[in-house]
Amino acid sequence: MKVFKIAALPKGFKANGIACGLKKSGKLDLALFYSEIPAKGACKFTTNKIQAAPLKISKKHLGLSRQFQAIIVNSGNANCFTGPAGLRDADETVKAVSRALGLKKESVLINSTGVIGKRLKVAKIKKVIPGLVAGLSKGGINKAKKAIMTTDLFAKEITVKANMGNRVVTISGVAKGAGMIAPNMATMLAFIFTDANISGGALKKALDSCVDNSFNCITVDGCMSTNDSVMALANGAAGNRLIDKGNDFNAFTKALGFVCLGLAKMIVRDGEGASKFIKIKVRGAKNFKEARIAALSIANSNLFKTAMFGENPNFGRIAAAVGASGIDIREEDFGTKVSPLDKKDINVEVFLNRGKAGATVYTSDLTPEYIKINAQYN
């Protein structure tokens, strides 16, 4: 498996990014990802009960179609909490994209990120779609990866190449983080593209498993967004024998897992106001779920996070956080090991002595800068 720290689109994929005026700064704010041939699609969405309009439209299309060719994403506006008008706006955007690409509406997915509760200016989007489509190219990913950013400090991108099903398969991903530098922009979005020939069921299964171990194992401030999504397209252009189960499936899942975890860690590194990158490994749990609950309980504890910022060895806070998670731990079985706190990267190990399962979670510290970032705005 080869890993590249850039997003190099797999065979058959193109992308583009453009500024349509949703961001007042004039920065890129509209991204289009395109597969020249129909692709299998799998998505994971936020479990927040308030979901943005584009997620509802994408879910509908995932129910109606088995083949997808485009994902349209705007930043600068989350199109969330916008009622029936927001649904119409998302639908109009999708229609304009499908028309320009000569596709069925259902083969287009959509996402948005930005301010909650404000109408999306669809006219601005529609106006630029012909140009956005005309400019699709392999290298356009470098514009697209920027157009999905809100206030991220750097673009998050990764590419993995691995042998599976008798061919080299490429998986490439871009993401935007929970860098809530301007308020209400709390969205984590990831888009993953592969030329693997894989069954829809296997793609979904692999994505479920990889997201559980990556994007669901990171937290910046424990706040769940209304737009969080991971969207994956697999167009089969690598020409490998169909991946469905067995060794090929395992190889694909391993490579996809690397892409997901890589992007997830970049999101934590770019967490708002973060001065530390903290890895929390819980060992000796009864099962993965329990281990992750314990690790997330530490990672979301403001007391723990401020202690890490202050390089303050208050390890009683680790035990208190795990105790508060509801897991039936015993004081006498509980152990912790923490690496030097004066480094940027901190490793926390927790031993529960209840079983053999473990989980690793990544988080940042809680800093005055986080508060400044999230308090200032109007």
Using the minimum distance from each CB to a copy of itself, give the nearer residue, 8 or 319. Answer: 319
Token output for 132? 């956005």
Piece of 11-19, 166-174, 190-198, 223-231 that binds a copy of itself (CB under 8 A)? 223-231
What's the rounded Cα separation, in Å, for the pair 124 and 130?
12
The radius of gyration computed from the CA coordinates of the chain, to the nearest angstrom, equals 21
Using the minimum distance from each CB to a copy of itself, give the nearer residue, 142 or 225. Answer: 225
Residue 345 phi, psi dihedral angles, 5° rounding? -95, 125
187 is catalytic: yes
Residues whose CB falls within 8 Å of the CB of residue 250, separated by 6 or more in sequence, listed in order: none
Pattern 290-319, a copy of itself, x by CB under 8 A: ----------xxxx--xx-xx-xxxxxx-x
Pattern 240-259, a copy of itself, x by CB under 8 A: --------------------
Using the minimum distance from each CB to a copy of itself, give the nearer residue, 16 or 297. Answer: 297
Pattern 71-100, a copy of itself, x by CB under 8 A: ---------xx-x-----------------
Using the minimum distance from each CB to a copy of itself, give the nearer residue, 19 or 52. Answer: 52
Q: Does the footprint of a copy of itself cover residue 180 (CB under 8 A)?
A: yes
Using the minimum distance from each CB to a copy of itself, give the nearer residue, 209 or 306. Answer: 306
Residue tagged active-site, from 93, 113, 187, 360? 187
Piece of 95-103, 111-119, 138-146, 150-158 that binds a copy of itself (CB under 8 A)? 111-119
List of long-range contacts for 304-309, beta carbons under 8 Å, 24+ apart: 305/363, 305/364, 305/365, 305/366, 306/365, 306/366, 308/276, 308/278, 308/341, 308/346, 308/365, 308/366, 309/275, 309/276, 309/365, 309/366, 309/367
Classify each residue of 141-155 as buried b or exposed e, where b means 16 or more C-beta atoms within 10 Å of its C-beta.
bbbbbbbbbbbbeeb
HSE, side-chain direction, 13 A CA sphere, residue 125: 28
**Given the structure tokens 């099903």, which residue do they identify?**
165
Q: Residues in contact with a copy of itself, total (CB under 8 A)? A: 61
CB 151 within 8 A of CB 113: no
What is the contact surface with a copy of itself in residues (CB under 8 A)?
A: 47-51, 80-81, 83, 115-117, 180, 183-184, 186, 221-226, 300-303, 306-307, 309-310, 312-317, 319-332, 334, 366-368, 370-372, 374-378
